[in-house]
Structure 1
């Protein structure tokens, strides 16, 4: 049986590693867009939903390659802020903002609220475009709360602020292995594995 190819619409090495780990054992070769000569192609994420951005990225890359294309988008949705920062999570404090700027803005907006009122959820939406251009999406969620202050050394995105339900430490404080088992991205990727097993079985 010929191996199928998945092109990930990202050049992020850590993201590729995580996808390879969860999809290990399937009859698939997983490669980044950089490896197929698309390093300089950046899709503008201008949709107002995670699904819209993930689908747009997957479709645009799909027009340039042969194989299954995978793209994702992630956002943090805070209940007391009507879902902010949501689809704008990466640029919450402005187009040129960094993770620290975004974290500070979120803490400022939640000033005065106790931990119990800081409920939130991380969401990752994965879109795949199959060889016949069929589009499928899968969503992974991790519920939790926003901490009163930034803690932890794994300083990525909102990880120093997000305490997942059932834990006392933030994503940035816990071992990477635990985070990778319970995160929104991991939950979406587990669903992706099931969907791809189904696709491969129907060959």
Structure 2
């Protein structure tokens, strides 16, 4: 059995990671973090994921996994990026964040609305050794929200190869191809190696 702490207080997220990664890494147990929240003052997804993972290792003495993710719009130079969760100023106001982004893109032609979701995962071992992977989900920004599945920017994100938003996809379909799914798949070898050491 390998215990890895997920640097989140969200039990639902820990259960989701357990379900996905447990299939690939036998004996893996993902537990939610119960310590203080570190200040995420990095300037990239990678830096913020590493800040969270290192804080969780220091607090628990267990290997830690952390993620940082967001939406990046090409015509905006990659913004909102690491500020996705607080784009409208207050952390967690998903509707305000989404509306602000739509307002900022109101005059941008459809051909120039390309974007991608990014998920960065950092695994830090008890000896401080980091492994960082990234999952990218390319697409574009719709002109209005559509769909009831998903959260955050899902209702305005149209993945490449689809004519529906991420919020209109069935959850199983979204979970199979999302940025987070791609990052989770990429971290599996490092977790397997942890179990073998």
**TM-score, normalised by the number of residues in structure 1:** 0.90
* Runs of 5+ unmatched residues, structure 1: none
DSSP-derived class of the 2:154 partner: coil
1:20 aligned partner: 18
Shift of 1:8: 0.5
**Deviation per residue, 1:94-132 (Å, 9 max, x gap):** 135611111111111111223221100110111111122
**Partner of 2:137 in structure 1?**
142
Check 1:146–1:88 CA distance in 2 against 1; reply closer, same or farther (3 A cut): same
Say which of 175, 181, 189 aligns to 2:176.
181
3-state SS of 1:70 partner = strand
Match of 1:11 in 2: 9
Q: Does 1:162 align with 2:157?
A: yes
* Separation (CA, whole Å) in 2 of partners of 1:48 and 1:188: 20
Match of 1:50 in 2: 45
- Which protein is richer in helix relative to its size? 2
Matched residue SS, 1:64 = helix
SS of the aligned residue for 1:191 comes to helix
**Do the aligned residues in 2 keep the contact of 1:74 with 1:87 (CA within 8 Å)?**
yes
**CA displacement at 1:174 relative to structure 2:** 1.0
Q: How many residues align?
A: 195
Match of 2:147 in 1: 152
